[in-house]
Each structure stands twice: as structure tokens, then as C-alpha cells.
Amino acid sequence: MTGGLEGYDEVAEANAQKSILDIHWSRICARLKAEVGEVEYNTWLRQMGVGPVEEDEITLYLPTRFLRDWVRGQYGDRLGALWHAEIPAIRRVELQVARGPSSSAEGEAATAESHPAAPVAAPVVEAAVVEEPRTAEVRSDLAAPLDPRFTFETFVVGKPNEFAYACARRVAERPSSPGFNPLFLYGGVGLGKTHLMHAIGSELVREGRVSVAYMSAEKFMYRFIAAIRSQSTMEFKEQLRSVDVLMIDDLQFLIGKDNTQEEFFHTFNALVDAGRQIVVSADKSPSDLSGLEDRLRTRLGCGMVADIHATTFELRISILEAKATASGVDVPAKVLEFLAHKITSNVRELEGALNRLIAHANLFGRPVTLEATQDVLHDILKANNRRVTIEEIQRKVAEHWNIRLTDMSSARRSTVVARPRQVAMYLSKQLTSRSLPEIGRKFGNRDHTTVIYAVRRVMELMEQDPAFAEDVELLRRMLES
């Protein structure tokens, strides 16, 4: 044995220090998540890792320069304050680019729901790392980064999406061509709209041609409101109007948000008039987005409108094959067929199921069999068998408490309607595989945090009030049967 006990002590001490830091770090992560919300946390902060402490400074790692700069700008001070509160000797936080020696405190424990489409081994986000910011860039100052997993190469093309794919390719090759501006992509949840938008952005950035800004409509609204609050709307407008390609995802979020719609309308006009490209996605076609202003709907429909249809069995098989191959895990054809038969709702769920199987196989080193699949995916398969819809839940709950169905999405807040609405949100979370934002959308475009609150509130009330708990249980049984 060389090195003797001296070496051992150093290693032991380093390990002890690391595990203490990890405890502090997991507390800080929990705080941050509560403060910024799960979506924001997963987008920006989850990949952070903890490095060493030297004197009064702790180093944190982020996988790309882009993420590092963003986190530094948006959360640098807050991270400093949180570390100082945990360990008073720490007065400064240094953010560096690297895979940290310890990954995020939550590591692999992040749930499938919080990150539904996360692959087993998420690659490092590199799309936004560009050396010549004025000629080709993702506008990190106002937009979200592009997910490097969402490229044209990883998008599996089949009958339901071939038109949308071809249009997206065309826009990536020749942005702002007549007839393709704006490009409006629409289709049901989890069918690949976001994937195609990111693919367009990544392709343009890779080609080194233009500056690209991608953001959800929700983010657009928050940025706009923040600009109003900080009296910097001019700056916000100028930033937006300086990009070559603006992509706004899930535009249906702007329904009922008149001021933000107005702002978007002006931005839209300014960009298109200046020969810049707009790409928009929504869950419905422009003509069916009835809550949007007419003039905006008309302009949205002026370029190319492409829909993505529900998947076919053939497309589901092709997607599963591609993803299984990429994972390197051998998944038998009969398992892929079984999944493609059973999980028909959307690609996100299909992918989530496959990822879970693959993670299981990797963790336990066991082959993927049909029996193991049924076991590991028990809950997903059950949810898909049952097929209770949010609409059914809303109807049953409204009938039960004798309120109008429209109150499920109305803004009324009196307990008489708010409580049944919360129960319906709770049951939607329990009985369907819909994500929190999707549930929120079905309840009058409410935010996912409202759904989280409703679920918690109903659970609390069920504990406190047995009669209420019985009501909820009864509803659940009726819906399940």
C-alpha cells in the first residue's frame, strides 16, 4: 500500500466535506425550486453542480457557457445569498463551465413528470454556445436556450408530420421566403411542435447565419409584464425587434391576455415588415383560436399553416425504434409493438415510457422483457387503459356539486365554484397522465402553479374533513369504473 493513512485521511476529509456540501446544496435547490417554480428550475438550474469551497468562495458548475451566463445574470445574487444563509463563511459564488464533480442535488431523482421528455443520459446543452454573437446566436438576453436534442436529425418523419417537417426544413434553409412567413405549426399536445421549432433554430445557428430568439408565449408575457414593471418596455421591444427569427411556442396561452396579444401583434408586424421570420406554434389552427383577436388570427394565417396530426401506429413504432437504438439498450420488437399499441396519446408519453424502461434496464442490468415492461410501466399503462379525460372529470365534478360546467374555466373565485374546480384539477392530476401545464390550460388557461396549489389544498382538506374525502373518493371511483 502506498500513500498510507495520510492519503486516506485526505480522501476521507474531502468526501466528508463533499457530503456536507451536498446536504446544503439539496436544501438550496429545494428553496430555489420553490421560489422560481418547477419549470424555470428545470430549464435553468437543474444541471448545476457543486464544486469546491476555497476561503469565502464556492464554485458551482454549469454545463455550457450559455447556461452559466444566464444563471449568473438571473440568479447569481440569489445563489450567493442562499449559500451565505447556509454557510455564513461563504460570501461569493463563482460559476464555471464544466460538468460538476457532483451533479444537481436532485440528480436522477427528478420525476418523469417534472422532466417528462428527459432522456436517460441528457447531453450537454450546447446549441447556444456561439462564438460570433452578432452573426449567429440564440438571443440569450431575451429568450430560452435551444434544446440540442431537438434537431431535424432526431425528428422521425411519418405521414402525420411530414408536411410540418418539410415546412420547418424549408424555413431553416431559407428564412423569410414568401409564402412561409409566418410559419404556423399546430397540433395536439406532445406531437413535436416544440421539437421542430428548436430544430429550425439550431439549424440556423449552426449555419451561422442569423440571430434566433425562441420562447414560450407564457415567457413572452412574463417578460413583457416585467418590462412594464421596470419601465423598460422600449428596451424589450427593441430587443425583440432586433432578431432575425422570432419563435413563439404555445401561442394559445395568449388567449384572454389582451395587452400581451396587442404587444405581440405589433412585434409581429414590425418583424414581418422588416423581412424577418416568425415561427409560431399552437394547439389549434389560427382560425380555431377563437380567443385571439381577429386581426392577429388573420395575420397568423397569412403565411404557411402546417398541422401535425395524431400519431399512427407506424410512426409510433419508428419513433420507438429510433429512440431505443440511440439509447444503446436492446429493446425487443414485441416490447416496442406493445408500447405502440398501448400508448397512443402522444409522443411525449411514449418517449417517457421508453425512457423509464431503459433507465430500469440500465440500473438493474436486466434485459427488457414484456413482463418487465408491464411491471415497470404499470401506472402509465393503467392510465392509458382508463382513458378518463379532463373534460369527463370536469363534467362529473360539476354535476356532483351542482355548478355550471363553464365554471370549471371561469374566473369566479367564490368557494362554491373554486372548491369543485380544485377537486377537478386534483382528479385530473390523479387520473390522467396530463402534465400540470396541460391541466392548467384546460381550466381556463390557468398557470401550472394554480394546479399545484389546488392539488395540495384538496389533499389537506381530505385529511381534515372525512366527509369531503369521501366525496372525492366517490368521484374517483365513479370516474375510474
Is the Cα dihedral 422, 424, 429, 435 positive or negative? negative
Per CB under 6 A, does 319 bind ligand ATP? yes
Going by their DSSP bridges, the two strands 137-138 and 183-187 should be labelled as unpaired
H helix runs in 133-210, sequence order: 162-173, 193-206
Q: Which residue number, 14 or 310, has a Cβ lying nearer to ligand ATP? A: 310
Question: Cβ contacts of residue 15 below 8 Å, gap of 6+?
Answer: none
- Residue 350 C-beta: closest distance to ligand ATP, Å: 8
Q: Is the Cβ–Cβ distance between 273 and 233 less than 8 Å? A: no
Question: Cβ contacts of residue 218 below 8 Å, gap of 6+?
Answer: 250, 253
Instruction: Give the count of beta carbons closer than 10 Å to the beta carbon of residue 273.
Output: 8
Stretch that binds ligand ATP, among 67-75, 127-135, 152-160, 361-369 (CB under 6 A): 152-160
What whole-number distance in Å separates Cα of residue 472 and Cα of residue 208? 56
Annotated binding residues for ATP: 190, 192-194
Burial class (CB in 10 A: 0-12, 13-18, 19+), 11: exposed
Choice from 48, 136, 156, 320 touching ligand ATP (CB under 6 A): 156
41: which DSSP letter?
Answer: I
Choice from 51, 76, 145, 192 touching ligand ATP (CB under 6 A): 192
Q: Which residue number, 130 or 308, has a Cβ lying nearer to ligand ATP? A: 308
- Residue 351 C-beta: closest distance to ligand ATP, Å: 5
- Residue 21 C-beta: closest distance to ligand ATP, Å: 33
Instruction: Give the count of beta carbons closer than 10 Å to the beta carbon of residue 280.
Output: 24
Q: Which residue number, 69 or 147, has a Cβ lying nearer to ligand ATP? A: 147
Contacts with ligand ATP in 68-127 (CB under 6 A)? 117
Choice from 193, 441, 442, 446 touching ligand ATP (CB under 6 A): 193
Q: Report the residue number whose CB is nearest to ligand ATP.
A: 192
Choice from 106, 263, 351, 407 touching ligand ATP (CB under 6 A): 351
Per CB under 6 A, does 327 bind ligand ATP? no
Per CB under 6 A, does 348 bind ligand ATP? yes
Stretch that binds ligand ATP, among 48-56, 187-195, 381-389, 407-415 (CB under 6 A): 187-195
- Residue 400 C-beta: closest distance to ligand ATP, Å: 29
- Residue 231 C-beta: closest distance to ligand ATP, Å: 32
Please give the size of the binding site for ligand ATP, defined by CB under 6 A.
20
- Residue 189 C-beta: closest distance to ligand ATP, Å: 4
- Which residues does residue 60 pair with via DSSP β-bridges, in sequence order? 50, 95
Question: Cβ contacts of residue 375 below 8 Å, gap of 6+?
Answer: none
Stretch that binds ligand ATP, among 218-226, 258-266, 347-355, 408-416 (CB under 6 A): 347-355
What whole-number distance in Å separates Cα of residue 280 and Cα of residue 183? 6
- Residue 436 C-beta: closest distance to ligand ATP, Å: 12
Q: Which residue number, 252 or 422, has a Cβ lying nearer to ligand ATP? A: 252
Choice from 47, 194, 327, 345 touching ligand ATP (CB under 6 A): 194
Per CB under 6 A, does 190 bind ligand ATP? yes
Question: Cβ contacts of residue 305 below 8 Å, gap of 6+?
Answer: 184, 186, 285, 286
Q: Which residue number, 175 or 187, has a Cβ lying nearer to ligand ATP? A: 187
Per CB under 6 A, does 191 bind ligand ATP? yes
What whole-number distance in Å separates Cα of residue 212 and Cα of residue 214? 7
182 cis-preceded (ω within 30 degrees of 0): yes
Q: Which residue number, 348 or 419, has a Cβ lying nearer to ligand ATP? A: 348
- C-alpha cell of residue 186: 399546430
- Residue 185 C-beta: closest distance to ligand ATP, Å: 8
Is 216 in a helix, a strand, or coil?
Answer: strand
- Which residues does residue 95 pair with via DSSP β-bridges, in sequence order? 60
Alpha-carbon distance values, 124 to 64, 65, 94, 200 (Å): 7, 11, 20, 19
Per CB under 6 A, does 347 bind ligand ATP? yes
Binding letters toward ligand ATP, positions 361-390, x by CB under 6 A? ------------------------------
Type of residue found at 46 = R
Is residue 315 within a helix (H) or strand (E), and if so which, with residue range?
helix 313-327
- Residue 446 C-beta: closest distance to ligand ATP, Å: 16
Q: Which residue number, 354 or 458, has a Cβ lying nearer to ligand ATP? A: 354
Is residue 282 within a helix (H) or strand (E), and if so which, with residue range?
strand 277-282
- Residue 474 C-beta: closest distance to ligand ATP, Å: 32
**Where on the chain is the footprint of ligand ATP (CB under 6 A)?**
117, 150, 154-156, 161, 187, 189-195, 250, 283, 319, 347-348, 351
